[in-house]
Amino acid sequence: MAEDLNPFRIAQEELDSAAEAMGLDKTAHAILREPKRTVVVNIPVKMRDGSVKVFNGFRVLYNDARGPGKGGIRYHPLENLDTVKALSAWMTWKTSLANIPFGGAKGGVICNPKEMNSYELENLSRGYVRALWNSIGPKIDVPAPDVYTNPQIMAWMMDEYNAIAGHGEPAFITGKPVEIGGSEGRFDSTAMGGMYVLRESAKKIKLDLKGSDVVIQGFGNAGMFAFEIANKLAGAKVVGISDSEGGIYDQDGIDYNKLLAAKKSTGKVQGYDKGEKVSNEELLELDADVIIPAAIENQITAANADKIKAKIVLELANGPVTPEADRILFERGVLDVPDFLVNSGGVIVSYFEWAQDREGYFWTEEEVYKRLDAIVTRSFNDVMATQEKYTESGKKITPRTAAYIVAVGRVAAAMKLRGWY
Ligand code: GLU
């Protein structure tokens, strides 16, 4: 049978495996298999030519037993409800594994931001808030940036929400520019958290990161900063990088500044004039110590998992590895570090931003990174300790299932205490 690549089916399958391994209560399992609330909206948007276009948007609150919903908003032409549902489930596990006081949520709009100008994007962003203001808010569900949304979009959304609320409410949304209540260190926090996890993962398998070869799929916010940090902090050599149009490979290492300049002037990574051109599929199969999928879902599947040569797969994107691929990598001895651990840095610093906004007292970048490091390192250790505990009792589980066991266990405990089951 062909592998089911529907992200929500995948999210449910991952939960089912963990539920079985940990002996999760049946009612808790049933609650956690579906989102608590799904809102679908129609957003009329004034376009530059004077016409009005209607966009479809979503906000899914998956679970709020541990605190208000939390999760980004994606602007993507292929957005759909099942993907948003899956991503909201993953946010629930992400905030729980990090042990920060939030539940999980996610939003999305079906649109092509590459074809929209700033006037249209602002109208769409304000329209999204007008359509949903009732079900989002600092104590209900706190949005943030995600694929193709950014600090400017967060600023417009905050402004719209504040106008509706009738007072300043910066904690309504995170990932804002620092000038209007954003946190130091938020912009590169996803990559930074990922690099702390990479440091711990390398330690675990005794890989010296200095001089090791790294390949990164994706040159968005996460991939771009991961490149810079891998170079600067870890002393690793990035030999492969891609964007949605394809990638490049250079065994001698890719020059970050030259790549940035090439991407800026030509609009694509392949504008870099050294190395050889590779497709996104070939990129993942390159001979490197570490590969970092930092783009979109379902990049490593049953079809290519046995061709991966890396020792560590660091999942910086959401959902880049399917459950079947996860099992194949595990059996082959590849350390596949799960997404909701690796990319939790974004939401952890979002939590710092929310806390700083509510207090009206802001921290230094150094303070932010120090606290981020402490949280992700603790999460990594929680996952490894759980995996070992199960292995010792004769149950072989992947790091992903171990991460699920920690995260699901905490959400189930919160639901139990609240009397939900
Ligand atoms: N969009 C990011 C994620 O998937 C951050 C979410 C947030 O900060 O709430 O984790």
Q: Are residues 46 and 154 in the same domain?
A: yes
Query: What is the atom index within ligand 1 of the atom nearest the CA of 90?
Result: 4
From 70, 85, 106, 263, active-site residue: 106
The pLDDT value given to residue 284: 98
Ligand 1 pocket: which of 106, 350, 368, 372 to mutate (most atoms <8 Å of CB)? 350
Q: What is the pLDDT of residues 317-374, one digit of tens each?
A: 999 999 999 999 999 999 999 999 999 999 999 999 999 999 999 999 999 999 999 9
Give percent of the chain above pLDDT 90: 98
Per-residue pLDDT at 281 exceeds 90: yes
Give, in order, the Cα–Cα distances in Å from 212 to each of 51, 208, 230, 316.
53, 7, 10, 18
Supply the CATH number for residue 254's domain: 3.40.50.720
State if residue 193 touches ligand 1 by the CB under 6 angstroms criterion.
no
- Same structural domain for residues 209 and 337? yes
* 149 and 209 part of one domain: no
* pLDDT attached to residue 1: 67
> What are φ and ψ of residue 419, in 5° steps?
85, 25
Co-location of 302 and 273 in the same domain: yes
* pLDDT value, residue 2: 80
CATH of the domain at 155: 3.40.50.10860
Q: Is 343 in the pocket of ligand 1 (CB under 6 A)?
A: yes
Pair 69, 202 in one domain: no
Kindly state whether residue 18 falls inside one of the protein's structural domains.
no
Domain that includes residue 205, residue range? 189-342
In a domain, 361, yes or no: no
**Is 139 assigned a catalytic role?**
no
Domain contains 383 = no
Asked whether residue 270 falls in the same domain as residue 316, the answer is yes
150 φ, ψ (degrees, to nearest 5): -150, 180
196 shares a domain with 274: yes
User: For residue 198, is it within any domain?
Assistant: yes
pLDDT of 174 strictly over 80: yes
pLDDT tens by residue, 298-323: 999 999 999 999 999 999 999 999 99
Provide the pLDDT confidence category of residue 388 given band limits of 50, 70 and 90.
Answer: very high
Work out the mean pLDDT of the chain and round it to a whole number.
Answer: 97
Number of domains observed in the structure of the chain: 2
Is residue 358 one of the residues assigned to a domain?
no
Give the pLDDT of residue 262: 97
At 234 the pLDDT is 86
Mark whether 199 and 153 lie in a shared domain.
no
Instruction: Give which of 275, 191, 269, 263 is closest to 234, Cα–Cα.
Output: 191
Band the pLDDT of 232: cuts 50, 70, 90: confident
Determine if ligand 1 sits within 6 Å of the CB of residue 63. no
CB distance 181 to ligand 1 below 6 Å: no
Domain membership of residue 71 (yes or no) is yes
- Is-contact 242 280, C-beta < 8 A? yes
Beta pairing, strands 104-110 & 213-217:
unpaired
Whether residues 255 and 301 share a domain: the answer is yes
Within this chain, do residues 124 and 45 fall inside the same structural domain, yes or no? yes
Same domain, 143 and 197: no
**pTM for the full predicted model:** 0.97
Domain-embedded: residue 236: yes
Q: What is the pLDDT of residue 233?
A: 83
CB distance 189 to ligand 1 below 6 Å = no
Last residue of a domain, one of 326, 342, 358: 342
